[in-house]
Amino acid sequence: MQAQAELERTDVGGPHRQRPWRGALSGAGLILGGLLFCTALAAYLADLSAHTSVMIDWYDLNVYNDAGLITREFPSILYTWELKVGVQFTYTPFAAIVFAGGSLMPLTVLRWLMTIMSLISVPLTAWLTLGGMGRRGAGRAGGALAVGAIALWTEPVVKALFLGQIELVLMLLVVWDLTRQDRRWFKGAGIGIAAGIKLIPLIFIPYLLLSGKIRQAAVATAAFAATVGLGFVILPGPSASYWLTGYFMRPGRTGGVDSLVNQSLLGMIARQTLDVRQAQSIWLPVAIAVAVAGLAGGTLLTRANLPVQGWVLVGTTAVLVSPISWDHHWVWIIPVLTMLAGLAMKAGPAARTACIAAIIAIAGVMGSWPWKYSGPQAYVPRRGLLGWFVKPPQVTNLGALHGWDLLTWNLFVAVGAVIYLALLGSAWPAWRRRARSAPPGPEPPGAEPTSPIGSLLARADAALRGSGAAAAREPARTGQ
């Protein structure tokens, strides 16, 4: 046996004969990905240089900065102050403390620092996601750069950069946390801190708990609680106003619920009913059902050794069910595109073609296509296909939608729903394949404790299979 193994390692016709080709392909992929990203970035910077005022105005970052100044000088008016009529600070008291630190910088430095951090976040999020799928080496770097090149020109990313939004940085923090090894004692802290700034990442705490990552869920909860506590210590009055009066649960505090750029389930329903209160009564049970199913699907995928697919489903769920999901909140499309790229890297020809086609379709639909292709405003990215023929500043609904408007005014919701349903539909089959390929037995030393719901899922699956012994005799089946 040892001689045979040695022969296979040295024989040019042995099983390892393709490894040099694989290395060459990975190197070529890195060069191609690097060229794509450099081209996409150069095009963005050229457009930014030629059309600065319409490519970037840091509007939201200015709100952050002003809120930081108010936090330092007049904290009592933090949640009553208005930048202009209807534009208030809506983030947590902890976020106000963070922005107070940022306001110590010169505004120009703060603006460009946020822009650079956001640009770096695009390929780095893709790189972390591919690492979570087990991709390594030059292929991982090339894939991340290629996805970054595509994602940079999607509408959510362009809009986040235009506004100086913190969204890309927070997404990077969450993805970094989710892709850490479970044994890291600090895993979960990134999710808790991100949720302390913007509440949407809170959905990942029950996801961790249901996935059997009890310690990580506890760390995330403790980190979030620490941000709330710090807010009460430094800003007791604003913290009481934010947390104890229900202010943080009012969807309308952040802007028009029925606005075109609110691409959430609630926004979609509000645009059709023309009545926010009626829309909320319809949305609440729908949102609960979507959230529960998304968490269950994410849990099954994670327990089937597909963690990236699991938390991508949960992230998509979060944006769908959040009362307010502005178009720039859909930067979560970056992990979706990366997940598809990661699958393509290991798939057969047919599956690889399907993944690449899905990447092109999603990027095309969510692309930040320009309004004009000639003249002084040529190739300036705007909303692309979102709203289709609706031009800024007309961003609110004027009547119930009909025909194509039903799709174009809810375009990101539709894309998110397709992604959600595709991942949700794959969850149970993935769980079944994993359960059949692993006969029951004692957990290995150091395994994460199983949550009660996870135990129920395992027992239900064992009952469906009839018996553990019969399942152990079945041929093992695995899949990505």
Question: 68-101, pLDDT tens digit by residue?
Answer: 999 999 999 998 888 777 778 889 999 999 999 9
In this structure, are residues 371 and 388 in contact, taking their beta carbons and an 8 Å threshold?
no
Lowest-confidence segment of 71-85, 131-145, 379-393, 422-436 by average pLDDT: 379-393
Position 43 in a domain: yes
pLDDT of residue 224: 98
pLDDT of residue 80: 87
| pLDDT for 140 beyond 50 | yes
Q: 448 falls in which pLDDT band (50, 70, 90)?
A: very low
Position 21 in a domain: no
Question: What pTM was estimated for this model as a whole?
Answer: 0.84
| pLDDT for 438 beyond 90 | no
Q: Which domain holds residue 389?
A: 32-438+446-473
Position 46 in a domain: yes
Q: 254 falls in which pLDDT band (50, 70, 90)?
A: low
Position 27 in a domain: no
Look at the chain and report how many structural domains it folds into: 1
Position 13 in a domain: no
Which pLDDT tens digit goes with each residue over 171-220?
Answer: 999 999 999 999 999 999 999 999 999 999 999 999 999 999 999 999 99
Whole-angstrom distance, CA of residue 239 vs CA of residue 241: 5
Position 409 in a domain: yes
Average pLDDT over residues 35-57: 92
| pLDDT for 223 beyond 60 | yes
Q: 399 falls in which pLDDT band (50, 70, 90)?
A: low
User: Which string of DSSP letters, residue by residue, matches 12-71?
Assistant: TTSTTTTHHHHHHHHHHHHHHHHHHHHHHHHHHHHHHHHSHHHH---HHHHHHHHHHHHH
**Which tokens go with 157?**
């990313």
Position 24 in a domain: no
Position 349 in a domain: yes
**Which tokens go with 403?**
């025909």
pLDDT of residue 450: 45
Q: Coil, strand or helix: which one is 396?
A: strand
Average pLDDT over residues 43-59: 91
pLDDT of residue 336: 98
pLDDT of residue 405: 83
pLDDT of residue 471: 38
